[in-house]
Chain A
């Protein structure tokens, strides 16, 4: 466990003339739940896409599990849940799962076992044979999570996983995230819901493409002399505005 799980080294990303991220550095040493917090348009999704390997940093470098991204082989170890549900509406939940599982090289008995395990994990075992277009928003979100987990990735990136999910299910999902972490999975979760932040081991606050602060929820609150994450974030945001 000498090499860090994730190492982001002075990364910047520009699209044409527009700078989306600038000088972001971040290290995750051991499995944990790392929350990326920030308003929409702050650059969270861009950062996440670079970690997955879909975008290349303009400057700096990113290493996941010791391998420099983008790397095709590494993608087998990464689970990714995109911000929008990327599902085939005509296919059933099971067929969707099977398709993505095969992309990650699963087949036969292992595929079947994994599919059953993740469907149960997200509570969709009874809806496996239903076409996805009949699913509610929350069910689709859960299926997307199941797909992200199907190949037992060591590194899980969840882009706004709990948008449109009711509080009860949200709590259940976060319990699941905790179990995954206990099993040695590193999770990066983006969110703009502050109460979720409390459940992360560490947090990174992003705004206008900059990583403003990084630390445990308690540390961040102490540093800003606030009692809630929301207030803490406002303090960091305010500092950004003042400059």
Chain B
């Protein structure tokens, strides 16, 4: 009988907490759907630019599943830099030269595969291009490629959770209300949170980045300071989003429930997996997830050695995300004080 009482109580609690129940049943379906969309995608087809390539070789390459594009040398270089092409094949004094964009090991492999399958006889046989890398190199491995994204994910995840929970505690403990009974402005409250958390975020990202680069030997072509800048802006987005979503949580458990809804989808669309292979009708999601921009900028700096000119767009979008969330935070604080 006592066991029955306990069982019944647990069932009743679940019935009252519709959100937990919905999450228990629906969140796994959402995550599984995302996984299937990402991993059931097509195999990656590399884009190769051709500059003055003899037609027999072009014909042979067309048998591979690579996208081919004939264009001028200058245009080819530009598109390679913009990552529109994965590689460019050109002939310099009769010698084939293949330049790979190089920042993604998956694309590199796909390009090289197109060439190894070339040996199928005819005139194209025996074409062994000299291989160059625009970024990275032969030794660039999967960790080098994932590393920058993981750095972004960790910063985002921990800052989101910690700030969300601590702001939630301010709400449930009544300290938020008490603080707002003082002459403090709502904007000052949000700013204070940003500076306080900013300090710890800088230490956290400096530590993670330094450890990955100097101990785990992660590829690092660009400036450490840009990495810190990007992670800081990313952390501000996570902080303001965490604060905002804590409004919709009544307790810590409900805050954790945002992980499968807010964090996991972002991880899938952050560029950890090649977005080109995801079905078109969902790949747009990546453009509304902050983590995508953070990961893109981090990869730019760490793998391709980009400077401010390469990352300002991503940083700008992240700053915009943060500003929108901050504004919403200041607005929702009106619930506690109408001034």
Residues on A close to B: CB < 8 A?
A: 52-56, 70-73, 75-76, 78, 80, 82, 84-89, 100, 103-105, 147
Q: A53-B339, A54-B336, A70-B337 are in contact. Are A75 and B174 (CB under 8 A)?
A: no
Residue with the highest number of chain A CB atoms closer than 10 Å, among B174, B182, B336: B182
Contacts of A52 in B (CB 8 A): 181
Is A104 within 8 A of B182, CB to CB? yes
B93 at the interface (CB under 8 A from A): no
Closest chain-A Cβ to B85's Cβ sits at a distance in Å of 54
The CA-CA distance from A88 to B176 in the complex, in Å, is 11
Is B183 within 8 A of A104, CB to CB? yes
Contacts of B179 in A (CB 8 A): 86, 100, 103
Of the A-B pairs whose beta carbons lie under 8 Å apart in the complex, a sample of 23, sorted by A's number, is A53-B181, A53-B339, A54-B177, A54-B180, A54-B181, A54-B339, A55-B338, A70-B339, A72-B339, A75-B182, A78-B181, A80-B181, A82-B177, A82-B181, A84-B173, A86-B174, A86-B177, A87-B175, A89-B173, A100-B178, A103-B182, A103-B183, A147-B178
Q: A86-B173, A87-B175 are in contact. Are A54 and B338 (CB under 8 A)?
A: yes
B184 at the interface (CB under 8 A from A): yes
Contacts of A73 in B (CB 8 A): 183
Contacts of B138 in A (CB 8 A): none
Interface string of B315-338 (1 = CB under 8 A from A): 000000000000000000000111
Q: A54-B336, A54-B337, A70-B337 are in contact. Are A85 and B183 (CB under 8 A)?
A: no
Contacts of B182 in A (CB 8 A): 75, 100, 103-104
Contacts of A103 in B (CB 8 A): 179, 182-184
Given A53-B181, A54-B177, 6 more A-B residue pairs with CB atoms under 8 Å apart are A70-B337, A72-B183, A75-B182, A82-B178, A86-B175, A100-B179
B109 at the interface (CB under 8 A from A): no
The CA-CA distance from A149 to B336 in the complex, in Å, is 22
Is A86 within 8 A of B178, CB to CB? yes
Contacts of B185 in A (CB 8 A): 72
Closest chain-B Cβ to A6's Cβ sits at a distance in Å of 16
Cβ contact of B174, chosen from A78, A84, A105, cutoff 8 A: A84
Interface string of B175-211 (1 = CB under 8 A from A): 1011111111100000000000000000000000000
- When C-beta atoms are compared, the residue in chain A nearest to B337 turns out to be A54
User: What 9 A-B pairs come out closest when comparing CB atoms?
Assistant: A86-B178, A86-B174, A103-B182, A75-B183, A70-B339, A86-B175, A80-B181, A56-B338, A84-B174
Residue with the highest number of chain A CB atoms closer than 10 Å, among B173, B174, B175: B175
**Interface residues in B108-130 (C-beta closer than 8 Å to A):** none
Interface string of B146-189 (1 = CB under 8 A from A): 00000000000000000000000000011101111111110000
The CA-CA distance from A89 to B172 in the complex, in Å, is 13
Closest chain-B Cβ to A142's Cβ sits at a distance in Å of 15
Residue with the highest number of chain B CB atoms closer than 10 Å, among A75, A89, A147: A75
The CA-CA distance from A86 to B180 in the complex, in Å, is 11
Closest chain-A Cβ to B190's Cβ sits at a distance in Å of 15
The CA-CA distance from A37 to B25 in the complex, in Å, is 48
Closest chain-A Cβ to B93's Cβ sits at a distance in Å of 72
Contacts of A55 in B (CB 8 A): 338
The CA-CA distance from A87 to B173 in the complex, in Å, is 7
The CA-CA distance from A85 to B178 in the complex, in Å, is 9
Residue with the highest number of chain B CB atoms closer than 10 Å, among A73, A87, A103: A103
Contacts of B175 in A (CB 8 A): 86-88
The CA-CA distance from A105 to B185 in the complex, in Å, is 13
- When C-beta atoms are compared, the residue in chain A nearest to B182 turns out to be A103
The CA-CA distance from A25 to B145 in the complex, in Å, is 69
Closest chain-A Cβ to B181's Cβ sits at a distance in Å of 4
Closest chain-B Cβ to A78's Cβ sits at a distance in Å of 8
Interface string of B274-311 (1 = CB under 8 A from A): 00000000000000000000000000000000000000
Contacts of B174 in A (CB 8 A): 82, 84-86
The CA-CA distance from A86 to B183 in the complex, in Å, is 16
Contacts of A105 in B (CB 8 A): 183
The CA-CA distance from A52 to B180 in the complex, in Å, is 10
